[in-house]
Amino acid sequence: MRLVQGNEAVAEAAIKAGCRFYAGYPITPSSEIMHFMARKLPEVGGIFVQMEDEIASLAAAIGASMAGMVSMTATSGPGFSLMQENIGYTAMTEVPVVIVNVMRAGPSTGIPTAPSQGDVFQAMYGSHGDYPVIVICLADVLDSYLLTARAFHLAEKCRTPVVVLSDEIVGHMRESVTLPEIESIAIDENGKAERPEMPVIGRDPDVYYTGLASEDGRVISDLDEYDRLIKRLYRKIGGVASCKIENGDADTILFTYGSTYRAAKAVIKVADVGIFKAETLNPFPERELRKVAKKASRIIVPEMNVGKVVKEVERVVYGSCKSCEVISVATHRRIDPFTILEAVEMAGRV
Amino acid sequence: MSEYFAPGHGACPGCGLTIAVRNTLEALEGKVFVSNSTGCLEIISSMYNRSAWGVPYIHSLFENAGAVAAGIEAALKALGRKDEGHVVVFAGDGATADIGIGTLSGMFDRNHDVLYICLDNEAYQNTGNQQSGLTPPGANTTTTPAGKIMPGKLGRKKDMVSIAVAHGIPYVASASVAFPMDIRRKVKRAVEFEGAKYIQIHCPCVTGWGIQGKDAVPLARLAVETALYPIVEFENGELVKVRKIKDRKPVEEYLKPQRRFRHLFRHPEGKKILEMIQKIADENAKRYNLDI
């Protein structure tokens, strides 16, 4: 057991999972990830680069990935906005990269030291056009470690960008945890991953990457072919939806993602509720949610924003089940157990 | 006390930024529209219900103060209201030399009538002392941590003054909070020129540099006296004035009192870095003919 900060757990997991390249730019509340990488990456033969802004940060991580390195960047809201075009680029070029967003209150400069879940839709849909991106949510320090490691494996497997959503609460939370061993992506002594399926700069003679719609290094302009390409990109990530369900037979289910899970964990001790913890938002764990909704009377969705993911929950639940009610608990205050408990009691009374 | 930048803000005692800002605003008698990038100055001066600003103040984003100022200036011109005040940007070194250099270059290139002031405290101090393009070599920051492998920052300090001159703008100068009357004179001189102006002011940072508040101004002076921070002035591309140095001091005198350079006096690579820094000072002195 040791005392670990959420942001540090993200960075530690990244290195253990095989990440050997970090490019980033300072921003509160994510900077601890960068500080950790600046200290630790040189010790394992990795490369740390501080870039001139977040556009360059993600671009450098993509470039390193094209050259075969397992790479990442981390930021918060304003920087994440700047990265959006590059997120679409890495989805189209099918280059694995992990992007951590430690969410803070926005829009614009917002409240740099306050937590928020305001970026969830931007993480899921922020770049232009149709593209797949895996979005993973971290609930606590252990999640920061385990799910970050999973993010790297998924990026490799699906050859796609993976966004890891933390927030100021999770990032700055310190917990006593036992961090288990995690499997590393196979890398050689130079920090290069094998990636037999992917053209790698410096290894393969015929590398051709382009941000234009393309398949096998061939630019596409036929719209039927383009349609097939986009659908294939989406199919790649189709099977990776992930969730955890606790007491799933309860009449009232708390749908949580990220730090709201911790508040729900306190509520489950004092009220007869179940928890649906979404670990991925893209793809959305629809099948499991539908199953839970068939048995429950109500699903409460607490979130630290104006009520965003509740719209996804409504779409899934109301699309398949008429008897289950979806209740939004949306606030920009920190979601604590009392906020959720109050909603549970109010819902029971009606 | 200045009515343009009021006391009661959140700066550390000894912070260099506020000296630069107060003297700039007083030199222009408050006839300014301020555009301020994200950074220390924004945070210390705009706490809830405690704004220090007695002049029109626009906080922009991190990367766009040059462009916001360009928009304000173009609009004032179109509206025939240019006589109401000077458009002044206050931006940190990271905002200027790194993330904002694109919008700054565009503003210079179109030669907007804007006075751009770079408050150079030599790192991203607001987010926790990460290196910027203007961090000097050898400095220990949270992203250039001095340790067994790296002896602090490896690259050089970006020469933003030359970059500004290369844009062909009418006025470029460097200054230091050690010489506030010089700041005032340069600000007044700058606004006599129609077009883009750039002044880079050296502002010690108490926490980032690891110094005491009372030492901020003496250290800023030492930076000049060692020729590590040459004080120069360009008009229409011509070097018109420099601050001459009598009995130039060795760079160690400036570096030693600062925590960010302390490792250089213990690190196995330290001696080499110190020699390199001395060489930079010598080059500055030669290039600008600083020695008397």
* Tens of pLDDT, residue by residue, chain B (292 residues): 458 999 989 999 999 999 999 999 999 999 999 999 999 999 999 887 889 999 999 999 999 999 999 999 999 999 999 999 999 999 999 999 999 999 999 999 999 999 999 999 999 999 999 999 999 999 999 999 998 878 999 999 999 999 999 999 999 999 999 999 999 999 999 999 999 999 999 999 999 999 999 999 999 999 999 999 999 999 999 999 999 999 999 999 999 999 999 999 998 889 999 999 999 999 999 999 999 9
Contact A52 B98 (CB under 8 A): yes
Question: What contacts A16, CB < 8 A, 6 or more positions away?
Answer: A149, A181, A182, A184
- Residue B2 CA from chain centroid, whole number: 21
Q: With 50 as the cut, is the pLDDT of residue A145 above it?
A: yes
Contact A35 B63 (CB under 8 A): no
Please tell me the predicted confidence (pLDDT) of residue B49: 80
Closest CB to B143 among A34, A78, A82: A34
Start-to-end CA distance of chain A, whole Å, equals 45
Contact A35 B142 (CB under 8 A): yes
What's the CA dihedral at B136, A42, A202, A131 to 10 degrees? -90
Residue A124 φ/ψ, nearest 5 degrees: -80, -35
Q: Is A22 helix (H, G, I), strand (E, B) or coil?
A: strand
Exposed, middle or buried: residue B241 (CB in 10 Å: 0-12, 13-18, 19+)?
middle
Q: With 80 as the cut, is the pLDDT of residue A349 above it?
A: no
Count of H-run helices and E-run strands, chain A: 12, 17
Query: What's the average model confidence in pLDDT over A20-31?
Result: 98
d(CA B138, CA B122): 12
Query: What's the average model confidence in pLDDT over A81-98?
Result: 98
Q: Write the single-letter amino acid at A149.
A: A
d(CA B252, CA A162): 47
Please tell me the predicted confidence (pLDDT) of residue B269: 85
The angle, 0 to 180 degrees and rounded to 10, between the axes of the packed helices A31-40 and A6-16 is 40
Q: Count residue pairs from A and B with Cβ separation < 8 A.
A: 52
Query: What's the average model confidence in pLDDT over A272-295?
Result: 97
Closest CB to B142 among A38, A42, A108: A38
Contact B149 A35 (CB under 8 A): no
DSSP A141-167: HHHHHHHHHHHHHHHHHHTSEEEEEEE
Q: How far is A223 from chain B (nearest CA, A)?
A: 36
Contact B59 A109 (CB under 8 A): yes
Question: Which structural domains are found in chain A, ordered by start?
Answer: 2-195 (3.40.50.970), 244-349 (3.40.50.920)
Beta bridge partners of A99: A73, A163
Q: Which two tokens stand for residue B130?
A: 């990460």
pTM of the model: 0.96
DSSP A290-321: HHHHHH-SEEEEEESSSS-HHHHHHHHHHHH-
Neighbours of B31 (CB within 10 A): 14
Beta strand pairing status for A134-137 and A325-330? unpaired
Closest CB to A27 among B42, B127, B145: B127
CATH superfamily, domain at B16-288:
Thiamin diphosphate (ThDP)-binding fold, Pyr/PP domains (3.40.50.970)
Q: How confident is the model at residue A322 (pLDDT cuts 50, 70, 90)?
A: confident
Residue recorded with tokens 């501080």: A50
Closest CB to A50 among B101, B128, B130: B130
A261 touches A140 (CB < 8 A): yes
DSSP category for residue B14: T
Q: How confident is the model at residue A350 (pLDDT cuts 50, 70, 90)?
A: low
Please tell me the predicted confidence (pLDDT) of residue B1: 46
Looking at the complex, does the CB of residue B105 fall below 8 Å from at least one CB of chain A? no
Q: Which two tokens stand for residue B198?
A: 């750039």
Domain range list for chain B? 16-288
Please tell me the predicted confidence (pLDDT) of residue B2: 53
Start-to-end CA distance of chain B, whole Å, equals 36
Looking at the complex, does the CB of residue B150 fall below 8 Å from at least one CB of chain A? yes
Please tell me the predicted confidence (pLDDT) of residue A273: 97
Q: Which residue has the higher pLDDT, A181 or A191?
A: A181
Average pLDDT, chain A: 96
pLDDT in tens, B134-181: 999 999 999 999 988 789 999 999 999 999 999 999 999 999 999 999
Contact B142 A50 (CB under 8 A): no
Q: How far is A112 from chain B (nearest CA, A)?
A: 10
Beta strands in chain A, from DSSP E residues, in sequence order = 2-5, 21-24, 47-50, 71-75, 97-105, 111-115, 134-137, 161-167, 174-177, 214-215, 218-219, 243-246, 252-256, 273-278, 280-282, 298-303, 325-330
